[in-house]
Structure 1
Amino acid sequence: MQKSMFTRAAVLAVLAALAASTAANAADWSDTSLSYRYGTNFAEPFGRNDITKNILNLSHASGYKYGSNFFSADMLLSDKNDPAAPGSSNGAHEVYVVYRHTLDIGKVTGRDFKYGPTRGLGATLGFDLNTKSDAGYNSKKRMLVAGPTIFFDVPGFLNVSLLALWESNAPHNSFTNTDVPRYRYKTHPMLSAAWAIPFSAGIPLSFEGYANFIAAKGRDEFGGSTAPETNIDAQIMYDVSPFIGAGKNTFRVGLEYQYWRNKFGNPYYGAAGSGAFAHTPMVRVEYHF
């Protein structure tokens, strides 16, 4: 299972690198990065909330005449507190991929949608997908997203979207060695914000991250009730490039914090327990090219 996980991760990384290279050639601007983050207080529903994870990431953002693209692929490596199989001392592995394309309606139509604190209006389409090897659930999430986006007039950027989510999963139970047929949850909305805002506190810093507020998605594949989900991930980043003779924003370091309540729609006050409510500080390093 873990070997196949690494194979899929390698394929995704290669495809992402090719896509990033192609997009960069056609883009007005682009930014591709490799990053690493580490924390010791991750949590998983129906599991523990003291899981250590090492997370490798490949991200690409670019803009062209009519909009922008964003791609992110995480490789999450857990310790033994999130085991790869029942009774295993090896940690679970997960690949999580996000893609968003945002079309700038003002640029497409030639109209000015700037009003008050906003600078424009967009339409976002995209998807999430994951695959994970763990002791019980072995997620195979697939999700399509679509909806309007407002661009706020701030230094850097702040985009807020109201998205419809079409989500499904087809997990494999390692304890009973049975597959669950792909199950589609009720279509549900998500209010999502993404930002990167520079500021100064005696030194130049950047406040970055995302916040997702997700409605309940009906019954899960086992007949249980789902709950509204809150996932906020924010970081303060510092550019250390001048100290090592690199170009601006090539190497960055920072501190990150994730607040995740009712993770994946599992009520933390129910059978999922404290593992469905994560409070996770992390350290983060990035290389941009």
Structure 2
Amino acid sequence: MRDHSSVSLPLITKPLTCALVAITALGAMSSANAKMLFGDTSITGLYGSDYELVPDETLKVMTLEHASTHTWGGVFFFVDRLQGEENAAGKDFRETYGELAPKYKLAKFDNSFIKQVNLAGQYEFGSNSNGFSQDNYLVGIGADLNIPIDGMKYASASVYHAFNNDTFSDADDQQITLTYGWEKNNFVIDGYVDYSFNNDDKKDSLRINPQIKYNLQETLGIDNRLEVGMEYSYWNNKFGTGVDEHAPSALVKYHF
């Protein structure tokens, strides 16, 4: 673990911010051959209960999300706007949380379980009306995987070192992130797994967050994807606090 008594967080996060920007800019400006291979932008509405550390354990969530792959790598970005019931001060609970996760291709492999190795970065930011805030910077190595399952559209695994700055802790830790997406006969299952560990101030934390959806585009005869279904949030030691979460939510997702 990094000793923050001798190195201040701003001195660490400033170059990391530059590194994240540089990863994105490097790909965007690499050459005239750098083109988009896939792009998707969507908006999602969620409504669910049993969320921990929020008043009344009920949340309405609106998410703007973008994912794209390019010849140089890719970008994933989302922003959540969460709204719950009144807190102890009589004010509605509100929270904004987002992530920017660029990746830059380091190596590509044909006919292999590992399709591509990436330099991976991630910036996590957010604050809520309870006074919690966070600005975390993650840097690591990731791999796009070739999973031999019919309908598997993508899968990846990344290992990060996280430079954390939040209300509960500014101690570093490490994080393993898995992402996946499967689709067949208009049924869609996708999501992620995050495991954070080695934080001196918090317990290890595991979050498993799948979405199970059905694409109504063909049924309705519309131009864009419209998915309905549910999201389930399992969170062991939410924010490392020792509180566990088991929260299902109804979901509607529209792709532009």
Q: TM-score range by the shorter chain?
A: 0.7 to 0.9
Q: What is the distance in 1 between the residues matched to 2:82 and 2:165?
A: 21
Shift of 1:170: 4.7
2:181 alignment partner in structure 1: 196
- 2:154 paired residue number: 157
Partner of 2:49: 40
Structure 2 residue ranges without an equivalent (≥5) = 1-27, 29-34
C-alpha displacement of 1:207 = 1.1
SS of 1:192's equivalent? strand
Question: In the alignment, is the contact (CA less than 8 A) between 2:186 and 2:216 conserved in 1?
Answer: no
How far apart, in 2, do the equivalents of 1:62 and 1:166 lie? 25
Q: For 1:111-122, what aligned pairs fall within 5 Å after superposition?
A: 112=109, 115=112, 117-122=113-118
1:95 aligns with 2:96: yes
Q: Give the Å deviation of 1:113.
A: 6.9
Is 1:244 equivalent to 2:220 in the alignment? yes
- Aligned-residue RMSD, C-alpha: 2.2
Identity score, percent: 21
Alignment of 1:1-289 (within 5 A): 27-44=36-53, 51-80=57-86, 83=87, 86-88=88-90, 90-106=91-107, 112=109, 115=112, 117-134=113-130, 138-154=131-147, 155-170=152-167, 184-185=170-171, 187-199=172-184, 203-219=185-201, 226-247=202-223, 250-267=225-242, 276-289=243-256
Query: Secondary structure in 2 aligned to 1:70?
Result: strand
CA-to-aligned-CA distance 1:162-190 (integer Å, 9 cap, x gap): 1111010258xxxxxxxxxxx621x2111
Q: Matched residues in 1 for 2:110 and 2:157: separation?
A: 15
CA distance in 2, matches of 1:100, 1:121: 15
Distance change in 2, residues 1:125/1:288 (3 Å): same
Q: Secondary structure at the match of 1:184?
A: coil
For structure 1, list consecutive stretches of 5 or more residues without a partner in the other structure. Answer: 1-22, 172-182, 220-225, 268-275
Question: Do the aligned partners of 1:216 and 1:265 also contact (CA within 8 Å) in 2?
Answer: no
CA distance in structure 2 between the partners assigned to 1:102 and 1:254 by the alignment: 29
Deviation for aligned residue 1:101:
0.6
Name the structure with the higher strand share.
Answer: 2
CA distance in 1, matches of 2:240, 2:61: 22
Which string of whole-angstrom CA distances, capped at 9 and with x for unpartnered residues, describes residues 29-76 of structure 1? 2110011011011111xx66x511000000011111110100000001
Runs of at least 4 residues off by over 3 Å: none
TM-score, structure 2 as length reference = 0.80
- Summarize deviations over 1:66-92 as a string: whole Å, max 9, x none: 101000000010123xx1xx331x321
**SS of corresponding position for 1:264:** helix
Q: Does the aligned pair in 2 maintain the 1:36–1:56 contact within 8 Å?
A: yes
Distance 1:103 1:237 in 2: 30
Q: How many residues align?
A: 221
Contact 1:216–1:229 under 8 Å retained in 2: no
How far is the alpha carbon of 1:118 from its aligned partner? 2.3
Q: TM-score, normalised by structure 1?
A: 0.71
Distance 2:42 2:247 in 1: 22
| Distance verdict in 2 for CA 1:228–1:114, change over 3 Å | farther
Contact 1:114 1:120 in 2 (8 A): no
C-alpha contact 2:182 2:190 (8 A) present in aligned 1: yes
